[in-house]
Amino acid sequence: MTATRSPKITLIGAGGYVFPFRLIGDVLSFPALRSAQLCLMDVDPGKLAPVADAARKLVAHHGFDAQVVETTDRREALDGADFVIITFQVGGVASYRHDVEIPRRYGVDQTVGDTVGPGGVFRFLRSVPAYDAIAADALELCPDAVFINYANPMAMATAYLNAKGLRTVGLCHSVQGTTRMLARTLDVPYEEVDFLSAGINHQAWVLRFRRDGQDLYPRLREVMNQRHVVGRAAADLAGDDGDHSEAALAASTYEGGNEQVRTTLMNAFGYFETESSHHASEYVPYFRKDPEMVERYVPQRWDYYEICSAHDDQGDIDTQLARLKQELAPSVEYGASIVNSVVTGVPSVVYGNVPNATGVIANLPADACVEVPCLVDRNGVQPTAVGALPPQLAALNRTNVNVQTLAVEAALTGAREHVLHAVALDPLTAAQCTLEQARAMTEELIEAHADLLPAFLRG
């Protein structure tokens, strides 16, 4: 991108649920990006049109020069792009249903099913043909573009896109969401907190949490153990106080109000994890062995498939548009700040998912995709070396890295058996299934997703 022209920012999967339009609002929150070309691409024109229409209304309301282009043509979207943001889920809710319902019949109950486990593995695998097509076109049409991946499973998808030759950083909101929740829990102003987090996506660790040089962990352990007692009834959970702003997640069921799992993990391994207790319970073998155990640790169910099945696209877009017309300010997401820093040279620090090939985290494998603080400026996204994690944290991360790297290896090499290996080595699956059951579940998932999977899994 030259300094004399406005950037072309492409969103692939722009017709998705809620998130793409929020990113458009984030982009337009930065003055340097208000004359950008926003190229919105989706394979479903019916889902794309309302997002593009809302984007044009937002641009017109604020009097910006941004150009909004909508297309179903991937090559048109990628041609000359400076930034490419990926937000899609191949197969949509219909495929997602298989990801959660088939494993549940084998005793593998995933509250989300998009990170590791059978759900994460197959969400990744059915996206591989799309990633291959994007990579082939991008290397021809925009080889220098910065790719920003928001699609789950974050580690698998980001690792694969980098392996295909695209400069990709994966972004999530777990780190900024969790650290804000912890600051609210301790009644500490967030802007005064000094923290460091590192690990892998959805299983990173808050390694440092301080204020004015004072370690806040002793008080955090005390408060969390007082509030989040294992076996507490759902009726005793922290209630919703009616404030649904991004600054008020502490009262939600998802994050802050139901933290027996993360508190137990902190007690055992020493540090707080960056993904919610609901989601975190999927990644380890300790909390979901039977319904009674789930009730003790996660007494109020949060089911993302059910949420996705029930959502109202147009209502969500209209609500966001009204809010962004009143106040155009960036959310906690990092994507637009990356674009702004690359365009303007004004540095920022984000938590990004990047290859560990250079040993950013010294005691995780080189083929892992890790989540670490990154400096962003005109030179792009530059990971900072964290060194070695506490050994128990690295060991726990490696149980999930095993699943991720085997799934990516299957996609890169066409080795069908590695799909079974990835599923069978998932900690929750291993806690629930025999190898024969893991194979049967894997084959059932292959059959259910057959039309969307890479060629090596269709035979």
| Model confidence at 256: pLDDT above 90 | no
232-269 burial, b at 16+ Cβ within 10 Å, e below that, comes to beeeebeeeeeeeeeebbbbbbbbbbbbbbbbbbbeeb
Task: Give the pLDDT band (50/70/90) at residue 246.
Answer: very low
Q: What is the SS3 assignment for 209-222?
A: EEECCEECHHHHHH
Structural contact between residues 264 and 272, judged by C-beta atoms closer than 8 angstroms: no
- Does pLDDT of 454 surpass 70? yes
Q: Is 57 helix (H, G, I), strand (E, B) or coil?
A: helix
What is the percentage of the chain residues whose pLDDT exceeds 90?
87
Residue range 284-293: average pLDDT? 95
pLDDT digits (tens, 9 = 90+) for 367-425: 999 999 999 999 999 999 999 999 999 999 999 999 999 999 999 999 999 999 999 99
18-22, 197-201, 289-293: range with lowest mean pLDDT: 18-22
Superfamily the domain 8-172+313-358 falls into = NAD(P)-binding Rossmann-like Domain (3.40.50.720)
Q: Cβ(357)–Cβ(339) under 8 Å?
A: no
Please compute the mean of the pLDDT values over residues 230-253 and round it to a whole number: 53
Lowest mean pLDDT among 287-296, 315-324, 391-400: 315-324
Cβ within 8 Å of residue 52, ≥6 positions away: 14, 40, 68, 70
Which pLDDT value is given to residue 258? 87
Cα–Cα distance between 273 and 200 in angstroms, integer?
10
Q: Which residues contact 8 (CB under 8 A, 6 or more apart)?
A: 36, 37, 39, 80, 81, 82, 83
Whether the ω angle into residue 218 lies within 30 degrees of 0, i.e. cis, is no
Percent of the chain with pLDDT over 70: 93
Show me where the domains of the chain are located: 8-172+313-358, 175-301, 402-457
Q: How far apart are CA 8 and CA 218, in angstroms?
A: 47
Phi, psi of 207 (to 5 degrees): -80, -30
Lowest mean pLDDT among 29-38, 204-213, 237-246, 324-333: 237-246
For position 248, what pLDDT does the model report?
A: 41
Q: What is the mean pLDDT of residues 349-366?
A: 97
Distance CA 31, CA 7 (A): 13
Please pick, among 62, 173, 228, 279, the residue that the annotation labels catalytic. Answer: 173
**245 band by pLDDT with thresholds 50, 70 and 90:** very low
Question: pLDDT confidence of 459, banded at 50, 70, 90?
Answer: low
Active site annotation includes 173 = yes
Q: What is the pTM of this model?
A: 0.94
Mean of all residue pLDDT scores within the chain: 93
Angle at 405 between CA 404 and CA 411, to 5 degrees: 95
pLDDT grade for 307, boundaries at 50, 70 and 90: confident
* pLDDT value for 323: 94
Residue 124, pLDDT above cutoff 50: yes
pLDDT of residue 303: 85
At 4, is the pLDDT very low, low, confident or very high (cuts 50, 70, 90)?
low
- Return the bridge partners of 170, or none: 149, 353
Q: How far is the C-alpha of 21 from the C-alpha of 16, rounded, in Å?
A: 9
H-helix segments, 142-290: 154-163, 174-185, 217-227, 260-269, 277-280
Gap between the Cα atoms of 130 and 43, Å rounded: 11
Per-residue b or e along 382-419, where b marks 16 or more CB atoms closer than 10 Å to that residue's CB? ebeebeebeeebbebbebbbbbbbbbbbbbeeeeeebb
Residue 27 CA to residue 95 CA, distance in Å, equals 30
- Sort 182 into a burial class: Cβ within 10 Å, 0-12 / 13-18 / 19+: buried
d(CA 178, CA 19): 19
Q: Is a pLDDT exceeding 80 seen at residue 451? A: yes
pLDDT of residue 252 exceeding 80, the answer is no
Beta bridge partner(s), residue 206: 197, 272
Across 427-446, average pLDDT: 98
Q: What is the pLDDT of residue 236?
A: 66
